[in-house]
Amino acid sequence: MTERQTTLEVPVSIEGQGLHTGTMGTMTFQPAPANHGIKFKRIDLKGQPVIDATIENVISTDRGTCIGNNGAKVYTIEHVMAALRGMNIDNAMVELNMEEVPIKDGSSKFFVEAIKKAGIKELNAEREYIEITENITMEIPEKKTKIEIRPSKRFSLSVTIDFESRVLGEQTATMDDIKEFPVKISPCRTFVFLHELEFLLKNDLIKGGDLNNAIVFVNRQIPQEEMNYLADMFNKPRVKVNGNGILNNLSLYFDNEPARHKLLDMIGDLYLLGKPIKGHVTAYRPGHHANTEFARIISDKISVLAND
């Protein structure tokens, strides 16, 4: 059975604040024609520049995946890219009047809900896949990272994280089919260790940060004055550490929510290949840098095979 490319039925907008910049703004998913792919448009800049969401345009993976072209940039696109892939959207123009995607709750849930609200439209063009025909492996020994993809009739992933911490050790998450994404993967939120949060706060790097858009893990004893400082910074009446080593700002949706979120990130980063993949990914200790480097390896392999 031939699969058709898709786009959105109607435009749909999401308002929110950028995590790192703190800028408030609006992001709008616009329908796009067949073979358009996923593109981002900065409507707040002169000439409204458009940036293709492709691996070639990745310019930074520091605490998120950033794409840019000719001076125009869009930060933290991975959760949006994951939502588009998870909802099987092939073509869309993502308009922004800010330089960073709204963080919302640190997951893809709000983007998935927006796409459902807009509706999905089939187009008169066949969907094309990147079909993996041989095993491809990448290792980064100094980070203990290993990622492999092998041939499969569908897209599936198994992701293992290990922060070698009492509160966040080894966890594994799997997704056997992209159909699982909206319910089992999209609600899973980003996470951070308290010492990272303190560094970011002191260096003014999370201007849009809120205790509601990240799971905060705590792996040491914290003096009360430090807890009071955190509460003041985030306008919370009281902050404490729960028994499972996370701040009491929220509860986990799944026991392995951090691993599921890393799987979510990988889905978004791999969609920068421009087409959905047919292959099974196994990843140990992935991250945005590793994900995008692996996508480059796949892209290079595809180019070589195409020229043979």
Q: Where are the beta strands (DSSP E) in the chain?
A: 4-8, 12-17, 24-31, 38-42, 50-52, 58-60, 66-69, 72-74, 92-96, 120-126, 130-131, 136-140, 145-150, 155-162, 170-175, 191-193, 215-217, 277-284
Q: Among this protein's residues, is 288 annotated catalytic?
A: yes
Q: Which residues contact 300 (CB under 8 A, 6 or more apart)?
A: none
State the average pLDDT over residues 260-285. Answer: 98
Averaged confidence pLDDT in the chain: 90
State the average pLDDT over residues 235-262. Answer: 78
Query: Which position among 20, 261, 280, 288 bears the catalytic label?
Result: 288
Rounded Cα distance, 132 and 151, in Å: 5
The pLDDT of residue 232 is above 90:
no
pLDDT of residue 214: 76
Highest mean pLDDT among 11-25, 77-91, 157-171: 77-91
Q: Label residue 19 by pLDDT band (50, 70, 90).
A: confident
The pLDDT of residue 242 is above 80:
no
- pLDDT tens profile 28-64: 999 999 999 999 999 999 999 999 999 999 999 988 9
Q: Label residue 243 by pLDDT band (50, 70, 90).
A: low
| 140-144, 206-210, 296-300: the lowest-pLDDT one | 206-210
Looking at per-residue pLDDT, the higher value among 291 and 236 belongs to: 291
Q: Which residues contact 196 (CB under 8 A, 6 or more apart)?
A: none
pLDDT of residue 203: 62
Q: Does the domain formed by 4-131+260-307 have CATH 3.30.230.20?
A: yes
State the average pLDDT over residues 226-237. Answer: 67
Rounded Cα distance, 152 and 77, in Å: 27
- Beta strand 66-69 with 72-74 is antiparallel
Task: Name the residue among 138, 113, 100, 85 with its Cα closest to residue 278.
Answer: 85
Q: Label residue 224 by pLDDT band (50, 70, 90).
A: confident
C-alpha dist (Å) from residue 302 to 133, 137, 139: 10, 14, 19
Q: Which amino acid is at 144?
A: K
Task: Name the residue among 50, 130, 127, 66 with its Cα closest to residue 301.
Answer: 130
The pLDDT of residue 197 is above 80:
no
Task: Name the residue among 182, 159, 147, 210 with its Cα closest to residue 18.
Answer: 210
Q: Label residue 22 by pLDDT band (50, 70, 90).
A: confident
Verdict on whether the full-model pTM lies above 0.85: yes
pLDDT of residue 236: 63
State the average pLDDT over residues 243-263. Answer: 84
The pLDDT of residue 14 is above 80:
yes
- pLDDT tens profile 104-119: 999 999 999 999 999 9
Highest mean pLDDT among 119-133, 156-170, 246-260: 119-133
